[in-house]
Structure 1
Amino acid sequence: MISAFANTWKIPELRDRILFTLALIVIIRLGVHITLPGVDASVIKAYLDSVQNADPTNPAGGITAMLQVFSGGGLQQAGIFALGIMPYISASIMVQLMTAVVPKLSRLAREDGGRQKITQYTRYITIAIALVQGFFVAKTLTDPGNIPYMQGIEKFGTLVPNPDIWWFTLTIITIVAGTVLLMWIGDQITEKGIGNGTSIIITVNIIAALPGALIQAWNYFVKGNSAYLSIMMVVMIALLLFVIAATIALTQAQRRIAVQYAKRVVGRKQFGGQTQYLPLKVNYAGVMPIIFATAVLSLPPMMLQWFFPDAAWAKNLYAQLSGGGTGYYILGGVGIFLFSYFWVAMMFQPSQIAEDLKRNGGYIPGVRPGKPTADFLDFTMARLTFAGAIFLAIVFVLPVGVGKAVGLPPGSLVLQFFGGTSLLIMVGVVLDVMRQVETQLLQKHYDGFLRKGKLKGRYDRLANAGGGSAPKTAIVFLWVVIAIIIVVGGTIVIYNKTH
């Protein structure tokens, strides 16, 4: 495996893709730290300094943690990337569901150039969602004391000194522009970089929270002067490795359905007769059910806060749903289980697969073509989905059990890497990047990451990418600009500390 990493730099195209992706990742993280115009950056700095030294036993909250995953801290820092890539993800989910439900969109998706039109519709919906969410972000910044991810910031001063109509307009435009820029960066990474751009952005935002989680874990477990906590830290590290291994195994797990193709003789040549396999993934829905469930659960707390701000029952219910309470994880687990079946029902079309097999002369041994094949695939996928849904629900509620054992609340930053959305996304993105890198290595006659066998998944994304890697001049220009920004930023920081 070490030699495979070394060989990645021996292939010029792969090296250019990696350098281009790394440069865009740096730009993404720089944008998170650029404060919105009209917002007092000194108040943000003082608040973040206090948060870094916060007690890890204070819950971040399930919904708050979810927001931080997709914004990468942009919401908490009131940056130009405050919304992150979440509007684009929401729009993509909406369009995918509409494509499966609306016949006109379904026909458009199968036409030549239809996917490009659907992508264009997704971008328009993204801008609309960003406008609405940008308005609410700007509105909440004028009263940040009620925001879950900015609680206590009012003690450090006024966040927005002059919240007039011009500030609202400029802030909304800036937030929408930041979302559009992230969407464009994601497309560039997908086309000219390595991995899926949207997933890379989310993963970078997740990893950005890792240093803070490690510091809090060190302060809680090692500096706690408790032999029990020290032992539990070792147990948690072993548990983390086990959970990652189990997540990789179940993410890769699939049932291969044998498909036999009938023999055909055309002239002097014989076609067909061979056996191929139809892979059905255990976790067919991926991380989508968790995103669905958390998105739905985020609506009731916001409505309670808007319509019943002073009611005692509303405050108790709000604490259960947004503060990482038991109710949040119970409803989330049930929602994930149901959404797993809903997603498979929308995206997996056994009738279409059976029709395609019949048209191409393929059949499943022991199953008649046509409707019996569709029923067999539907029954098989239902059983696989049950196992995948149980797995997703367990991963989602796993931080609760770990937190109970060590005395941390479920919403603690330390526990966010032991399950839930963060772990699934990181595992999926790392596997996808490794598949693409291994494809390039094998095409250039180098050894891949695994000498025996190969990683399961699609191997043609890089080979069939239309745009190719980014030009070398663009890569050099990006890194020169980044170097200048880092030097200027470092100089400013040193100047502020010495004066």
Structure 2
Amino acid sequence: MKNAWRIPDLRRKMLYTLLIIVVFRFGSVIPVPFLDASALSAMMNTASESNSALGYINMLTGGAFSYASLFAMGITPYINSSIIMQLLTIAIPALERLSKEGETGRKKIATITRYVTVGLGLIQGIAYYFYLRSNAGVVKVTDGFAGAFVGIVIVLTFTAGTALIMWMGEQINDKGIGNGISIILFAGIVARLPVTFGGVWQYFSLGLESPSTSGQYLVLAPLFIVLFLVVIWVIVFMNEAERRIPVQYAKKVVGRKMYGGQSTYMPVKVAMSGVMPVIFASAILSIPQFVKFFWNPTEGFGKAFMDAFSNNGWLYTVLYFLLIIMFAYFYMSVQYNPLEMANNLRQNNGTVPGLRPGRPTAEFIAKILSKVTLIGALFLAFVALIPIIFTNITNMQGLSLGGTSVIIIVGVALETVKQMESQMMMRHYKGFLD
């Protein structure tokens, strides 16, 4: 950070990113009109104590969801829109052709993604409005023409917040440091850290006050902190881990000089897809919680079904595990093409020792990628599920910081630092060559 601050261009980018984060935090507490703050606070306290996915959504938005503020929808509609567009790019030939047209095609796809984001934000805003309206006293006016006008204003305010936060993320991509979506998610989660550790302290204080009935918290609360630090270490370790494929380059003579003849390796990251599988899986599994806004059964099969999709439910846990693995493989297939990698090696006179160039090399690389992706996906799933398992065993409810949050925090921090290092390296070499 200190070295980057010395470079004027990077310093401007860092300050711009910080400015966007400050604006995001201000927008997270600007209230939407026509809502009763005290009734809203009581409603969201109940949701947080039940440790439902609504509490998780609130954590991702940095508390904006619980305030029903301008940025209550957070970056979730944009994430869902990106998922939809990436899937459609594979399924629809016209979009696939656009994606291969270079910068022009990517800009057109980005424009379509923005429209889809606004549409999803509108749907999500309507769902949230009906959820607020179903709780007595939260929306001040609900009847007649005035009630319809109030509803339209609230929904449009939520949608405008979604569009603004999407624009802010894109501005970070263009003029700041790091990935815009990830930085905004990072800022929201970090903003909730004091609340999480405050909850841990409350459990520890409860153990001190009543050692006979709640003495287990004297061990479980410090254990949570230790587990938090261990998870950070594991994430950093796995983020740096890689599988190295040995590559041998043949010697060739160009004029009077000889090139090649060296042994090197092709690095394949274990966590090659970063935090995106976790973010996408979380975004998809938050959808049933938005169904609750329209339909919230209190008994029978419906209640059992919705409880299974709660943050600690068995169905949520199983689907979370499977979706993380699925998205990890999806990202691997998008980012890596084994046949293209093998052809690039052959064109540069490179071979994997013991394998013929071409298809045998491509099959070997595909096999390696599949194994490494499985290891990385299992690691992501394991870290994401640790807090859910810990909560179910210890019954320590209301701790909003989960494995997903820690993965996002650490992953975004590491990616941002690497981007800063690469930009510093580029400027260093440019100055050296001049």
TM over 0.5: yes
Structure-2 change in CA distance of 1:437 and 1:303 (3 Å): closer
Match of 2:324 among 333, 336, 347: 336
Match of 1:119 among 107, 110, 113: 110
Q: Is the 8 A contact 1:40 1:161 kept in 2?
A: no
Asked if 1:280 corresponds to 2:268, the answer is yes
In 2, Cα distance between equivalents of 1:112 and 1:377:
26
User: Residue 254 of structure 1 aligns with which residue?
Assistant: 242
User: Residue 133 of structure 1 aligns with which residue?
Assistant: 124
User: Residue 29 of structure 1 aligns with which residue?
Assistant: 25
Match of 1:80 among 67, 70, 75: 70
Q: Is the 8 A contact 1:80 1:175 kept in 2?
A: yes
Structure-2 change in CA distance of 1:428 and 1:174 (3 Å): same
The count of corresponding residues between Structure 1 and Structure 2 is 421
Structure-2 change in CA distance of 1:377 and 1:219 (3 Å): same
DSSP-derived class of the 2:30 partner: coil
In 2, Cα distance between equivalents of 1:348 and 1:320:
36
DSSP-derived class of the 2:365 partner: helix
Q: Is the 8 A contact 1:131 1:172 kept in 2?
A: yes
Q: Is the 8 A contact 1:75 1:82 kept in 2?
A: yes
Structure-2 change in CA distance of 1:362 and 1:107 (3 Å): farther
Q: Is the 8 A contact 2:39 2:138 kept in 1?
A: yes
Asked if 1:95 corresponds to 2:85, the answer is yes
In 2, Cα distance between equivalents of 1:108 and 1:196:
23
Q: Is the 8 A contact 1:35 1:78 kept in 2?
A: yes
User: Residue 10 of structure 2 aligns with which residue?
Assistant: 14
Give the letter aligned to residue 215 of structure 1: G
In 1, Cα distance between equivalents of 2:304 and 2:184:
35
In 2, Cα distance between equivalents of 1:29 and 1:231:
35
Q: Which has the higher contact order (CA 8 A, sep 6+)?
A: 1
TM-score w.r.t. the length of structure 1 is 0.76
Match of 1:193 among 161, 172, 176: 176
User: Residue 369 of structure 1 aligns with which residue?
Assistant: 357
TM-score w.r.t. the length of structure 2 is 0.86
Q: After superposition, give the CA deviation of every residue in 1:165-198 in whole Å (9 maximum; x if it has no partner).
A: 3333333332222112111211222222222111
Asked if 1:351 corresponds to 2:334, the answer is no
Aligned ranges 1:409-448 → 2 under 5 Å: 409=397, 412-413=398-399, 416-417=401-402, 419=403, 421-442=404-425
In 1, Cα distance between equivalents of 2:316 and 2:106:
37
Give the letter aligned to residue 168 of structure 2: I
Identity of aligned residues (%): 38
User: Residue 139 of structure 2 aligns with which residue?
Assistant: 159
Single out whichever of 389-398 and 281-290 deviates more from structure 2.
281-290
Q: Is the 8 A contact 2:311 2:388 kept in 1?
A: no
Shift of 1:299: 4.2
Q: Is the 8 A contact 1:244 1:427 kept in 2?
A: yes
Shift of 1:404: 4.6
Aligned ranges 1:94-493 → 2 under 5 Å: 94-113=84-103, 114-143=105-134, 145=135, 154=136, 157-162=137-142, 164-225=147-208, 226=211, 228-268=216-256, 270-300=258-288, 303=291, 306=294, 309=297, 311-404=299-392, 406-409=394-397, 412-413=398-399, 416-417=401-402, 419=403, 421-442=404-425
Shift of 1:297: 3.5
Asked if 1:67 corresponds to 2:57, the answer is yes
Give the letter aligned to residue 358 of structure 2: G
Single out whichever of 69-78 and 193-202 deviates more from structure 2.
69-78
User: Residue 449 of structure 1 aligns with which residue?
Assistant: none
Structure-2 change in CA distance of 1:402 and 1:159 (3 Å): same
Structure-2 change in CA distance of 1:178 and 1:300 (3 Å): closer
In 2, Cα distance between equivalents of 1:208 and 1:332:
24
The Cα RMSD (Å) is: 3.0
Give the letter aligned to residue 389 of structure 2: G
Q: Is the 8 A contact 2:76 2:283 kept in 1?
A: no
